[in-house]
Amino acid sequence: MKRMKRLFLLLFILTSGFIAAQEEPVTFRPQYLSLLDGEHNAEDQEIALKAAETAYSQEDYTQAIELYEEILSNYGASGDIYYNLGNAYYKAGRIAPSILNYERALLMKPGDKDIRFNLEIAKLRKVDRIEPLDEFFLTQWFRFLQDLFSVDTWASIGIACFILFIGCLTLFFFSKWMKLKKTGFYAGIILLFVVICSNLFAWNQKRAIVERRGAIIFAPTITIKSSPDASGTDLFVLREGTKVFIKSTLGEWHEIELEDGNIGWIPQKDLEKI
């Protein structure tokens, strides 16, 4: 038993050392021109992107932040731009905006390991440590599969599998050979299942992008109230960078829920929607 404890302790120390050694986020990405709004002039986009990239490479993170924010405002949202903006905020020491932009990037590219890694690194810098509620293992599997690809990729998979499903139906109804009929039947069932799952995953991801229930606390310290009023009972305190979920809105107040299940009210001005 003592040997096992020592082994676990050694593994914990090594793991902690690895995380500590990786406290710098993965660098920016220059390959994202095709992800921006095609209605705008490609040359203007390239100039803006190169300017932001140059500012970042010269460690002028304040300028890089301004340029990336302008790009998002002028040319539309992009997962890679949010990612680069999150890196710039992180390098500038502004943890809450970096977490916000990593979360936005992850909404658009849920299967991206670099974004997820950098988000976890940024979370290590925030004060609050919220332990999420345990999820049913089937829910965890569902979420894991859903986050493998983006909404567009799942939609493409669904369309491709549906076309193949039609081909299997044709094979089943019109083939003269029994083996081909059986192959078409069983392959059709599998493809139909993939079509349903793909559309469900795409719909869930699209809803998350549209509804934007997640939000990040931007106030250095904020007391969460029991009611949408400054005179409400103090429940608990949250700090900058903490992620919450918006349940409802009343006037200038949001009812929020934490990952550990705690619920309360917070002024709108103290958080930013993902």
3-state secondary structure 184-212: HHHHHHHHHHHHHHHHHHHHHHHHHHHHC
pTM, two decimal places: 0.80
pLDDT in tens, 210-221: 888 999 999 999
Task: Please write the tens of the pLDDT for every residue from 71-94.
Answer: 998 888 889 999 999 999 999 999
pLDDT at 175: 85
pLDDT in tens, 146-190: 988 888 899 999 999 999 999 999 988 888 888 888 999 999 999
CB neighbour list of residue 45: distance below 8 Å, 6 or more residues apart: 33, 36, 71, 75
Tell whether the model's pLDDT for residue 28 goes beyond 50.
yes
